[in-house]
Amino acid sequence: MTGDKDWYRQAFNTEYLDLYAHRSDAAATEEVAWLSEVVIGGKPRTLLDLGCGAGRHTRALARSGHEVLGIDLSRDLLQRAQEAGGPSHYCRGDMRQLPLANAHFDFVLSLFTSFGYFPTDDENAIVIREVVRVLKRDGEFVLDFLNAPMVRATLVSSTTSSHGDQTMVQQRRISSDGRRVIKRVSLTGPDQDRQWTESVRLFGRDELISMLHAADFTVTEVFGSLDGQRWTSKSPRCVLRAKKR
């Protein structure tokens, strides 16, 4: 059995997709519209959707005319992505060791908090170094992450919701050292009881900027959402745009 440090191997499966079925392709199209038009620009680009999951954003970006590859570790999520069809492509891999050529992509996108999963800062920094490796010269990285001050200020400790004949209880807390946000999910129903943990490193904006600079990126802009709003401590997101030096 994998431990909590490998929680992402257990959490992202078909049940995860069913529970979050409200996250639609239509919503994904809206979420990437500003990125595609303003950040990436009008002409077609070569993109990597890092931690693509079931490919919602991958498909949306491909529909905008870009050449997009989605990569994820979850076989279940990738299968769902491939079943959805569309012009995008997918492969399976660990973001700490991408099975991809050097200097291939114009942009790498990490969307919807697909970063900070690993137990040590060194392992998370490896991900950023891999992003540098697969980007072309002057390529760009967009990191869409949670906004740590807002998470700490607004964390709801427990919620219960119904999904058909299943009940989901989510319990959330900040780790004792203040460095991670941890969610314990319990799913109960007539045919199964299942529990899993999600644990994400609670990087602040300045920590992320330092990590990017250390990996030979120049951070050019920081936004508070995926529609280009200015970042503040009360923003819903922390979206960093960084250029490979």
Look at residue 153 in the predicted model and tell me its pLDDT: 97
Does pLDDT of 68 surpass 60?
A: yes
CB 98 within 8 A of CB 69: no
Residue 63: both structure tokens together: 């529909």
Look at residue 87 in the predicted model and tell me its pLDDT: 84
Domain boundaries, the chain: 4-147+203-244, 151-198
136 C-beta neighbours (distance < 10 Å), count: 15
Does pLDDT of 18 surpass 80?
A: no
CB 49 within 8 A of CB 35: no
Strands 158-163 and 135-146: unpaired
157-197 pLDDT, tens digit per residue, is: 999 998 888 899 999 999 999 999 999 999 899 987 889 99
42-53 pLDDT, tens digit per residue, is: 789 999 999 999
Look at residue 21 in the predicted model and tell me its pLDDT: 66
82-139 pLDDT, tens digit per residue, is: 999 888 899 999 999 999 999 999 999 999 999 999 999 999 999 999 999 999 999 9
Using CA atoms, how far apart are residues 181 and 158, in angstroms rounded to an integer? 13
Residue 12: both structure tokens together: 């992202």
Does pLDDT of 2 surpass 60?
A: no
Domain 4-147+203-244 has CATH 3.40.50.150: yes
Reported pTM = 0.94
212-225 pLDDT, tens digit per residue, is: 999 999 999 999 99
Look at residue 10 in the predicted model and tell me its pLDDT: 86
- In DSSP terms, 196 is beta-bridged to 185
Percent of all residues in the chain with a pLDDT value above 90, rounded to a whole number: 80
Residue 101 exposure: Cα atoms within 13 Å on the Cβ side: 6
Residue whose pair of structure tokens reads 């492509």 in the numeric block: 89
Using CA atoms, how far apart are residues 127 and 227, in angstroms rounded to an integer? 25
Does pLDDT of 3 surpass 60?
A: no
Give the type of residue at 189: G
